[in-house]
Chains A and B, each alone.
Chain A
Amino acid sequence: MKRAFPIFAVLTAVLLSYALYEALVAAPTEQTMGNVQRIFYYHVPSAWTAFLLFFINFVCSVQYLVCRDKVADTIATWVVVVLGIATCVAAFVIRPLPAGIEPSSVATTGLAIIGLYFLIKKYFSGGSTDALAVVTAEVGVVFCTVVLVTGPLWARPVWGIWWTWDVRLTSTLVLWLIYVSYLMLRRFSTSGQTPVLAAALAIFGALDVPLVYFSIWIFRTQHPQPVIGGGGSIDPRMLHVLLINWLAFLCFAVLICRSRYRLEILQREVEEVQALEALHEPRSTR
């Protein structure tokens, strides 16, 4: 098991370099945008990875809050199951769906909600749920920063502007702001119950993002339609490169999360031992 980490690290490095080659050399050049379009292979996978990590953070936060109360736990489990199934059903019942959203992707999201919830519930509990929440928030902010930096770099030559208050841009920015404030709260908190406060804030953030999305959705959106499961069309070779890049980024994210998680757990153990020692030690300073 100890070997698994370095082996996985090497595999990730190989995959990342292969993805880099594919993105910069092997992928066909876009007709109108030219080489600038290649930034897309970093922008989109980072965005997907960041959203996934924030979603895991939200699930962890909910579980951390409900795991102390039997009734709340049961209610939360039922809510998750009902919500997941309702999303799946709604995907095929509600017509018409907003432009750029396919029923299959909505249904997959519904299943992912249930799957992630039960996976995390099975393998994490109490303090380790909270450690996972810290880790995913931190790594998620890093990936989200990559998205927010590469976006304007691409937009300047293609749209002629660095930034616009479009649906996806604004909701990503707000998400980033919320998670930066989440990390700030964790850093500045002097309470012994920081996890509770942070989890509550994460839930507020998760409630906020849909509201931001719908409030800006009313305006015309400028961002290109999503290429996967959306109305846009993409060259199959480009799609292939995009998916390889996503896989590489996902492996990379898992790798950092894994080592950061170990660090977090070790840190907590050290703190615990120090606290115990301080209790046991006779007052030698006098």
Chain B
Amino acid sequence: MNKEATSDVTSGLTSQRMSQSSRAIAGVSRATLAKDLRLEWRSKDAINSMLFFALLVVVVFSFSFDPNAEQSRQIAGGLVWVAFLFAAVVALNQTWARELRNQVLDAYRVSPAPANSLFLAKALGNFIFVAVLEMLMTPLFIMFYKLRPLGPAWQLVPIAALGTWAIVVNGTFFAAMSLRTRSREIMLPLLLFPVSIPALLAMVNATTVILTGELSAKFWIVLLSTYDVVFTIACLLLFGLVLHAE
């Protein structure tokens, strides 16, 4: 057999293996995501606690500041994202804790399923939970803070999506990391908040800029996208190590 044929065969095999593994990632992700969503649909643990927590934050902030329309444009960006961040931590803490019961996580570890597929499923699940929370909370925010954006309001949608992913992707990773610590509920925000500072800065500034309609939010959206890309890659590369660290 000549060399070319051999390389043809091997490349065919590799591409077959590649497509197999990508199919495996998609399959495991879909199964885990469906399982998480079904669990959440039946119990509504995460969404209820998040909703009530975010509601409390909104109410407390609202009567401790009691702003007029102009002031609330200036501060609402910060308040919205702080409320969502705190609420997201509530959901993120439950992500992996759920898998500790009945040693489900150990089963994941010994299974041949790629670690990344598990991570992607969990991150997507959290993204959906936090996105639902945001959709439910936004009308309340508009009501309490008398908000009327002066800039292009449609840009708030990509900002919300990118910002939520920024919180959720790192949050899922750090939640897995803090699983092996004492007082893990406290550990997650301690790890997550310092690393999230640039993302928070970008989300808050982008939102404020659109609400006040003074400047363009383009720079902040680019920064947020960069943050998302960089940390998604980092999470995918390092998650296997964290999952298998007993």
Contacts and interface: CB of A to CB of B under 8 A. Distances in A.
B194 A188 contact: no
Q: Determine the main DSSP class of A at the interface with B.
A: helix
B226 A211 contact: yes
A180 B194 CA distance: 9
B241 A200 contact: yes
Interface string A204-217: 11011001101110
Contacts of A178: 194-195
Given A193-B245, A193-B246, A204 B231 contact: yes
Contacts, number: 85
Nearest to B176: A197
Given A185-B177, A189-B180, A200 B238 contact: yes
Assign chain A's interface to a size class.
20 to 34
Contacts of B178: 185
A211 B231 CA distance: 11
Interface residues of B, number: 29
Contacts of A200: 177, 238, 241-242
Contacts of B241: 65, 196, 200
A184 B226 CA distance: 28
A185 B191 contact: yes
A32 interface: no
A190 interface: yes
Given A184-B187, A185-B187, A197-B180, A192 B246 contact: yes
Given A181-B190, A218-B219, 10 more contacts: A174-B194, A177-B193, A178-B194, A180-B194, A193-B245, A197-B242, A200-B241, A211-B223, A211-B230, A215-B201
Interface of A: 65, 174, 177-178, 180-181, 184-185, 188-194, 196-197, 200-201, 203-205, 207-208, 211-212, 214-216, 218
13 contacts: A174-B197, A189-B180, A190-B182, A196-B242, A200-B238, A201-B177, A204-B231, A205-B194, A208-B195, A208-B197, A211-B230, A214-B223, A215-B223
Interface of B: 170, 177-178, 180-183, 187, 190-191, 193-195, 197-198, 201-202, 219, 223, 226-227, 230-231, 234, 238, 241-242, 245-246
